[in-house]
Amino acid sequence: MKLKMITFFASVALLFASCAKETKTEDKVVEEVAFSYNVEQFADVKILRYQVPGWEDLTLKEQELVYYLTQAGLAGRDIMWDQNYRHNLKIRKALENIYTSYEGDKEATDWKNFEIYLKRVWFSNGIHHHYSNDKIKPDFSAEYLKLLLTETNTTLEGEAFDVLFNDKDSKKVNQGKGVDNVALSAVNFYGPNVTNKDVEAFYKAKKSPNPDKPLSYGLNSQLVKEKGVLTERVYKSDGLYGDAIDKIIFWLEKAKGVAENPAQGDALGLLISYYKTGDLQTWDDYNVAWTSATEGNIDYINSFIEVYNDPLGYRGSYETIVQIKDFDMSKKMAVLSENAQWFEDNSPLMEEHKKKNVVGVTYKVVNVAGEAGDASPSTPIGVNLPNANWIRAEVGSKSVSLGNIIHAYNNAGNSGRLKEFVHDEEEMAMEEAYGQIGDKLHTALHEVIGHASGQLNPGVGETKETLKNYASTLEEGRADLVGLYYLYNPKIQELGLVDDWKKVGMTAYDGYIRNGLMTQLIRLNLGDDVEEAHMRNRQWVSAWAFEKGKADNVIEKVSRDGKTYFKINDYDKLHKLFGDLLRETQRIKSEGDYTAVEALVEGYGVKVDQTLHAEILERNKQFTSAPYSGFVNPVITPEMDAEGKITSFKIIQPATFDEQMLFYSKEYGVLPEVN
C-alpha cells in the first residue's frame, strides 16, 4: 500500500527555502546557495526536485548498489506506460518526435498548447490524468496535429490518433457503480472484450495450493480472450514485456553482486527468479525474504505491486523506489514499530478482529535516490509492503516514509491557499506550529499501524475478491482512521513523539476535515464525481463524521462573507466518531461485507456538493500554484578509471522536465509500440 501526499498545502513552507544563507568560517564568509526545489509549472502540475541526504555517508559499494537498483527501476519504465493504455507508447514516440523535430513557429498558441499537452502526458505516464483517470484533452485541433505530423515526417494514425480527440477510452479506471468496470476502463490490464464476469469467474476457479497462503493471482499478467478462451499473458523474461524485464534482470544481477548482506542478496536472487519465471509462489517467497531483510542502509521496491489501476484490484502496476536510510529520523520513529501491539490491543476494533500477535512491523524514514514507473513523476510519501494479508500476519511488513520527498513538498510552496480555507487565525497558527509534525506522524501511523492492523474472519476471501472495486478505498480509509484515532491520544506524547499530543491531534483533525470536505475539490472539474481511491476515502471519512456528528454539532459548517468553512467544535467527540468508523470499516473488511462498503463509499465518498464545489473553485482562482506536484529524479552518473572500474559517482540535477523525459525515452525506451 502507498500513501499519496495527504494534502498539497497542509504544511507551511519554510520562508527561507528560496533564499541564500551565509555561514562564517574562521577567515571568510561563504555564501551557500539554497537548493532550488522548483523546476517548472504547467496546467495543473508543478515539477519539483529533491535532494538525496546521506549519499556522501555511503561507502562506494553502497553507492554502487543504489546505482544498479535505480538503473533496474528505469529499465522497466516503458512497462508502466503500456500498462496504463495500449496506445501510450505509440503516442509518446510520435509526440516526442514532433517535439524534437519541429522547426516551425514555436511562439504560436497551438504550439504552446502542444508542449503543455506533451508534458501532461509525460507526467501521467500516458494520455489519462494521473489522479482523476480522465483522458487529457488537447487544447489544439486534430488538424493542427496532422500539420505537425506532416512537417516532422512523423506517423500517428488510426485509433491511436483518433483517440486523442474523441470520447473513446475516456476513463483509465472506471470505478462506477452498477457498470462493467473492466469493459469501461482503458487501462491495458485486460483485452478489449473481457468483462467483469469474465475476470471474476476466471479467478474464482483458481485455487491456491495452500488456502491459508493465497497466491496473488492476476498480479503479473494481462488477461485476454483468444478465440473466445480466457488466457493470461504473464509478465516475465520470455513473456509479455520480456525485452524490458531482461534489462531489469541485468541490473538486478549487478545489484545482487554488491548486496550489503546475505539476506539482502538472497531476496534479490528471488526477485530475479520471479522476473525470469513469472511464478507467483516465487513472488511470495521473495516477499517473505524481502520483508525479513531489515539490515543495511539501502532498500528498494521493485516489481508489479499496487493494484489501484485495476478496477477489480488484481493486477499490479510496475513501480520502483530506491531508498537510503535516514538514520536519525528512523531511530526516532522506530518507537511506533516497537509498540505496534499496544496500538492493536487498545484500538476500538471488535476483539475478534484484532491481531493477537502483531509481528515484524518495521518503520523507517528513508531518503529517495530514484523512482520509476507508477512512483514517478507523481510519487507517494509513504509505503507499506507487502500487500498480502497472510505475509503481514505471519512475517510482518516494512513501512517507510519518504523523508526527502516530504521535505521537498514542504519547502516548495507557499501558505496563501491555506490561509484562504482555514476557519480563523487560531486554526492558522495551530497549522503553522503543528501541521508538519502532524502530517509526518499521520503518515507513520497510517503505514506502520494502520495497514498492519486487523485480521480477516476465518474463511473470508481476500479483500479484492469480497469488496471488489471498493477494496482499495476501504483499505486506505481504514488506515487513515487508525492514524486519526491515535493522533489524538496521550500515548504518542508518552512515547516521546510529540510535545503536545492534544494540539497536534487538533491540528491534524482540522486539516483532515478541511481537506476531505473542501480543499481537495480543487483537483476536480465542476460536475465530476470523486473517482480516485485516496480522494474517495478522505471524503467518505470526513463526510460520515460530519453527518454522524450533526446532532451534537461536532463539526459546524460556517458561512462567513459568502465563504464556507468547517469548524470542529468538539475534538473529543470527533475522536470517538473516528473510532466508531474505524471499528465499522474493519468489520466490513473482516467479514467481506460488500453491501456495507458500497453503501459507505457511494453514500459519502463519490458525489460532490456542486454549490460548494463551485465556490471552492472560485476561491482558488487567485492562486497560481498548481494542485498537483511531482518530481524529476537526480541523475546518478558513475565515473570510471582506465580499466572501466567505478571509482566514484556524481549526482546531477536535471535542469528541465523535458530534458529528463527525453533522456529517459532515449536510454530506457526498450519496448515496441505494440506489446
Give the Cα separation of 5 and 298 in Å (integer): 23
Q: Please, what's the largest Cα pairwise distance for the chain?
A: 81
Among residues 478, 266, 467, 272, the alpha carbon closest in space to that of 384 is found at: 478
The CA-based dihedral angle spanning residues 259, 262, 263, 269, taken in that order and rounded to the nearest 10 degrees: 70
Beta bridge partners of 560: 563
Q: What pTM was computed for the model?
A: 0.80
pLDDT score of 413:
66
Query: What Rg value do the Cα atoms of the chain yield, rounded?
Result: 24
pLDDT score of 444:
87
| End-to-end CA separation in angstroms for the chain | 28
> Which CA distances in Å does 341 have to 354, 356, 425, 507, 599?
10, 8, 39, 26, 31
pLDDT score of 281:
98
Give the torsion sign (CA, 472, 475, 481, 484): negative
Give the Cα separation of 169 and 182 in Å (integer): 11
Grid cell, residue 302, equals 521493485
Query: Which residues in the chain show pLDDT less than 50?
Result: 6-33
Give the Cα separation of 596 and 583 in Å (integer): 13
Grid cell, residue 425, equals 487565525
pLDDT one-digit tens code per residue, 248-285: 999 999 999 999 999 999 999 999 999 999 999 999 99
What H or E segment, with its residue span, contains residue 245? helix 242-257
Q: For residue 381, with 0-12 CB atoms within 10 Å meaning exposed, 13-18 middle and 19 or more buried, which class applies?
A: buried
Residue 199 three-state SS: helix
Grid cell, residue 447, equals 503505514
Residue 22 three-state SS: strand
Give the Cα separation of 633 and 369 in Å (integer): 8
Give the Cα separation of 91 and 145 in Å (integer): 12
Domain boundaries, the chain: 2-16+326-630
Give the Cα separation of 492 and 61 in Å (integer): 38
- Burial state string for 176-209 with b = 16 or more CB within 10 A and e = fewer than 16: beeeebbbbbbbbbbbeebebebbeebbeeeebe
Give the Cα separation of 324 and 335 in Å (integer): 19
The interaxial angle of helices 109-124 and 657-668, nearest 10 deg, is: 60
What DSSP character marks residue 382? E
pLDDT score of 5:
53
Written in H, E and C, the secondary structure of 401-464 is EEHHHHHHHHCCCCCHHHHHHCCCHHHHHHHHHHHHHHHHHHHHHHHHHHCCCCCCCCCCCCHH
Q: Determine how many CB atoms are found less than 10 A away from the CB of residue 34.
A: 12
pLDDT score of 7:
39
Inter-residue contact 626 to 377 (CB < 8 Å): no
Inter-residue contact 184 to 174 (CB < 8 Å): yes
pLDDT score of 14:
25
Give the torsion sign (CA, 270, 275, 276, 280): positive
Give the Cα separation of 221 and 86 in Å (integer): 14
